[in-house]
Chains A and B, each alone.
Chain A
Amino acid sequence: MTGIPKARRVATAALAAVLAGGVLAACSSTSTKSSSNSTAPAGSGSASSSGGAIKKGLKVYFIPKDTQNPYEVLADKGGQKALQELGGTVTVSSGTADTAAAQLPSIQAAIQAKADAIVIAANDPSALCPSLNKASQAGIKIVAFDSDITCGTSPNHLFINQADTKTIGTSEVDLLAKQLNSTGDIAILSAAASATNQNAWIKYMKEQLVKYPKMKLVSTVYGNDDPATSLTVLQGLLSGYPNLKGIISPTTVGISTAAQYLSTHKDVAAKVTLTGLGLPSQMKKYIKDGTVKSFELWNPSNLGYLAGYAAASLASGTAMQAGATFTSGSLNKSYTMAAGPGELSVVLGPPTVFDKTNIDQFNF
């Protein structure tokens, strides 16, 4: 039962041991907090692409939602890679439960360690504000990723958005269009009819479909992110629209349920192409057996990597204001901070497409 956490604890401890030199005691520490320190070898000297004055020896605290979530672990590793390239260090610290209270001690620890920046995936949009404000007053730059904070101007912070709503919607239509030769009836298998993000994506899908006159959206059905309900409405969809050629499911439950159905109903799979937003580890089986050709999601590792670069730039004097730019190492792009709805943000970029060629590289 504790296979994953234990394995991960051992792995992180081993990493820490190799890099920082024998902190094996961390292995047996199974208290409510598990943190790993990875001290990057200084002077790896790959900061050349950062195009300027990133300070050496920066201390950045990564505070994920919890230390076990596979998605967040990948993001943290991306951040560690970024700081390694920049000659700084990352400390990953958080609780094991997804609560704001579990993150407070980590913020406190960052203040006491005189960190240069905090990169946080907030478990609560407002509960962490006072604490983060204290950190900000102590001169620590605040960067949010995955899940933003809404603290107004105190503290001022930068949000690293995984992908903007419009791109997610349009790119899914493009992905399906490519597989369908831009022709045929399609449908959307969504989560709950009231889900804000789903509806926003669907709105942009509809706008994008105007570009493909031979593709027709015949129905949108709601599986409520319950596999059983998803199956029922999927079957209703298949009998209701016998000419259906494609399905977009912008929800991980929907796409994995539909993929399982198609993989066991080859007659249907021969006619219907499925794509959408999915988790690589959950979809691996269906990519390998050919049921699904490709699907997409943002890349959490790149998200953490970008957050790391953003944090380092801010800590090195880049102004935290709209229009300010910073570079992003191997992402090969200069990012410009934009004033979002009240908050400062940058968007990572288009989602990553997963298919046979890259599915094995991802483990979340």
Chain B
Amino acid sequence: MTAVLDKKPPEHGEPGRGSSERITALLRARELSIVLLIALVVLVTTINNPHFLDSNSIQQLLSGAALIALLGVGETLVIVTRNVDLSVGSVLGLSAYIVGDLFKYNHIPVWSGFVIGTLVGVVIGAVNGFIVTVMRVPSLVVTLGMLYVIRGIDGVIVSGDRIDPSFIPSTFTAVGYKNLFGVPWLAIIVAVVVIAVGFAMRSFRASRDLYAIGSNPDAAALAGVPIERRVFTAFVISGTLAGFAGALFLALHTTIDNSGGAGYELKVVAAVVVGGVAIFGGSGTVFGAALGAVLLNTINQALVASRIDAFWNDAIAGALLLAAIAFDRWLSLRVTRSLQSAERAHREL
């Protein structure tokens, strides 16, 4: 991280348009820096142990990050608007169980597993969005509540049962482990979503509104941005992707009880923040979020492959998170400073 900080002094800007270009450049640099960091981790680990680049290992690097990356896409949309969705892990668990249950008892066709899982997410996302925008309850409270409500509903539906691998159709589970030209289908599916949403976030007016809302809600309202509608949509998309992720979770792990996806919300927020999405809203890209997920997964796998004591995993992931948040803070201060004159008031922070 420090290497990046030193390398990217944004000192040669002009006022006006130039500063926004500079911000974009910095964000891009952030994604580039994550790519470089991933490359560094892979390189160091490979020098240590060449087997880290075996095809099985690379495939797991990708598919292991895929679900968190997918959840990270929706989470990015929400966080960019200065909100947060903590219910994604529970939504994933509920969706996965419902799909598994339908496979076991109703023998539904394989394709409908994905559709139904996604619909579960749509519904919960809409409820989240409704409570946040119409009833104006802070999203942290709403989605934290939903985290428990959904887990509770899940518990009632599961009622001590478990869906075992033998009940999941093999064509469904194939999505979880089959490869296309050596690339896991799971990674391909998620990459398509990341690229599609990433493109939309850059190009469409509605998605630019999300950034405006997160940067300055009052200004966005004055500028005529339909804040409620946009935030609602962001929650629905987050729920939708979490529901879809639930179906993929089932395809990958082939068994589900009522603990599926527990604790994922924090992994997702961690990946998103490491990926350069400002936790206070207003900036960040889904590409960064997805790369953040890949980075965290790569570190976990690399530590074990390097024969480093597994106890270090959480500490290192946590340190990275702190570094990322500190970097965000530093960045926003830097930008503020250059937008004002050359004042140095905030340097101590």
| Residues 56-75 of chain A, each 1 if its beta carbon lies under 8 Å from chain B, else 0 | 00000000001011100000
Kindly provide the distance from the CB of B289 to the nearest chain A CB, expressed in whole angstroms: 17
Complex: A96 Cα to B305 Cα, angstroms: 44
List 6 tightest A-B contacts by C-beta distance, closest first. A236-B304, A235-B60, A264-B177, A69-B160, A227-B253, A3-B105
| Residues 227-258 of chain B, each 1 if its beta carbon lies under 8 Å from chain A, else 0 | 00000000000000000000001001111000
A260 touching B253, Cβ below 8 Å: yes
- Contact of A240 (CB < 8 Å), options: B51, B162, B166, B177: B51
Chain B residues near A228 (CB-CB < 8 A): 64, 67-68, 249, 252-253
Known: A68-B160, A235-B60, A239-B49. 11 other contacts (CB 8 A): A68-B161, A69-B160, A70-B162, A221-B310, A233-B304, A236-B301, A239-B305, A240-B49, A265-B177, A279-B162, A285-B164
A226 touching B262, Cβ below 8 Å: yes
A193 touching B310, Cβ below 8 Å: yes
Chain A residues near B297 (CB-CB < 8 A): 232
A222 close to chain B: CB less than 8 A: yes
Kindly provide the distance from the CB of A295 to the nearest chain B CB, expressed in whole angstroms: 14
If over half of A's interface residues share one DSSP class (helix, strand or loop), that class is named, otherwise mixed; here it is helix
Complex: A27 Cα to B159 Cα, angstroms: 18
Q: Which residue of chain B lies nearest to A286 when distances are taken between CB atoms in the complex?
A: B165
- Contact of B56 (CB < 8 Å), options: A238, A281, A282, A286: A238
Chain B residues near A96 (CB-CB < 8 A): 159
A80 close to chain B: CB less than 8 A: no
Chain A residues near B60 (CB-CB < 8 A): 231-232, 235
Complex: A240 Cα to B120 Cα, angstroms: 39
Cβ contacts A to B, 23 pairs, < 8 Å: A3-B101, A66-B159, A70-B160, A193-B310, A226-B262, A226-B263, A231-B64, A233-B301, A235-B57, A235-B305, A239-B54, A239-B301, A240-B51, A240-B305, A241-B307, A256-B255, A257-B253, A260-B165, A264-B177, A281-B164, A282-B165, A282-B255, A284-B166
Q: Which residue of chain A lies nearest to B61 when distances are taken between CB atoms in the complex?
A: A235
Give A253-299 interface residues, CB cut-off 8 Å to B.
256-257, 260, 264-265, 267-268, 279, 281-282, 284-286
B304 touching A237, Cβ below 8 Å: yes
Complex: A237 Cα to B68 Cα, angstroms: 21
Complex: A130 Cα to B130 Cα, angstroms: 46
Chain B residues near A66 (CB-CB < 8 A): 159-160
A232 touching B64, Cβ below 8 Å: yes
If over half of B's interface residues share one DSSP class (helix, strand or loop), that class is named, otherwise mixed; here it is helix
B127 close to chain A: CB less than 8 A: no
B112 close to chain A: CB less than 8 A: no
B216 close to chain A: CB less than 8 A: no
Complex: A355 Cα to B262 Cα, angstroms: 31
B101 touching A282, Cβ below 8 Å: no
B162 touching A236, Cβ below 8 Å: no
Q: Using a Cβ–Cβ cut-off of 8 Å, how many residues does chain B contribute to the interface with A?
A: 44
Q: Using a Cβ–Cβ cut-off of 8 Å, how many residues does chain A contribute to the interface with B?
A: 44
Chain A residues near B253 (CB-CB < 8 A): 227-228, 231, 257, 260
Chain B residues near A267 (CB-CB < 8 A): 56
B306 close to chain A: CB less than 8 A: yes
Chain B residues near A256 (CB-CB < 8 A): 165, 255
Chain A residues near B311 (CB-CB < 8 A): 193
Give A1-47 interface residues, CB cut-off 8 Å to B.
1, 3-5
Residue of A5, A231, A257, A286 contacting most chain B CB atoms (<10 Å): A231
Complex: A229 Cα to B67 Cα, angstroms: 12
> Given the interface contacts A242-B51, A260-B253, does A285 sit within 8 Å of B166 by beta carbon?
yes
Residues of B within 8 A of A (CB): 49, 51-52, 54, 56-57, 60-61, 64, 67-68, 98, 101, 104-105, 157, 159-162, 164-166, 177, 249, 252-255, 259-260, 262-263, 297, 300-307, 310-311
- Contact of B52 (CB < 8 Å), options: A70, A98, A239: A239
- Contact of A5 (CB < 8 Å), options: B49, B56, B159: B159
Complex: A265 Cα to B56 Cα, angstroms: 8
- Contact of A1 (CB < 8 Å), options: B101, B301, B307: B101
A240 touching B304, Cβ below 8 Å: yes
B51 touching A239, Cβ below 8 Å: yes
Chain B residues near A264 (CB-CB < 8 A): 177
Chain A residues near B160 (CB-CB < 8 A): 66, 68-70, 98
Chain B residues near A265 (CB-CB < 8 A): 56, 177
- Contact of B159 (CB < 8 Å), options: A4, A193, A268: A4
A220 close to chain B: CB less than 8 A: yes
Complex: A15 Cα to B56 Cα, angstroms: 51
Complex: A237 Cα to B52 Cα, angstroms: 10
- Contact of B161 (CB < 8 Å), options: A4, A219, A240, A241: A4
A225 close to chain B: CB less than 8 A: yes
Complex: A69 Cα to B161 Cα, angstroms: 7
A232 touching B300, Cβ below 8 Å: yes
Chain B residues near A219 (CB-CB < 8 A): 304, 307
Kindly provide the distance from the CB of A80 to the nearest chain B CB, expressed in whole angstroms: 19
Complex: A219 Cα to B311 Cα, angstroms: 12
Kindly provide the distance from the CB of A82 to the nearest chain B CB, expressed in whole angstroms: 23
Complex: A3 Cα to B103 Cα, angstroms: 12
Chain B residues near A279 (CB-CB < 8 A): 162
B57 touching A238, Cβ below 8 Å: yes
B164 touching A284, Cβ below 8 Å: yes
Kindly provide the distance from the CB of B43 to the nearest chain A CB, expressed in whole angstroms: 15
Kindly provide the distance from the CB of A169 to the nearest chain B CB, expressed in whole angstroms: 20
> Given the interface contacts A221-B304, A236-B302, does A260 sit within 8 Å of B56 by beta carbon?
no
Chain A residues near B161 (CB-CB < 8 A): 4, 68, 70
| Residues 66-96 of chain A, each 1 if its beta carbon lies under 8 Å from chain B, else 0 | 1011100000000000000000000000001
B307 touching A240, Cβ below 8 Å: yes
Chain A residues near B254 (CB-CB < 8 A): 260
A282 touching B164, Cβ below 8 Å: yes
Q: Which residue of chain B lies nearest to A65 when distances are taken between CB atoms in the complex?
A: B160
> Given the interface contacts A68-B160, A232-B300, does A240 sit within 8 Å of B306 by beta carbon?
yes
Q: Which residue of chain B lies nearest to A218 when distances are taken between CB atoms in the complex?
A: B307
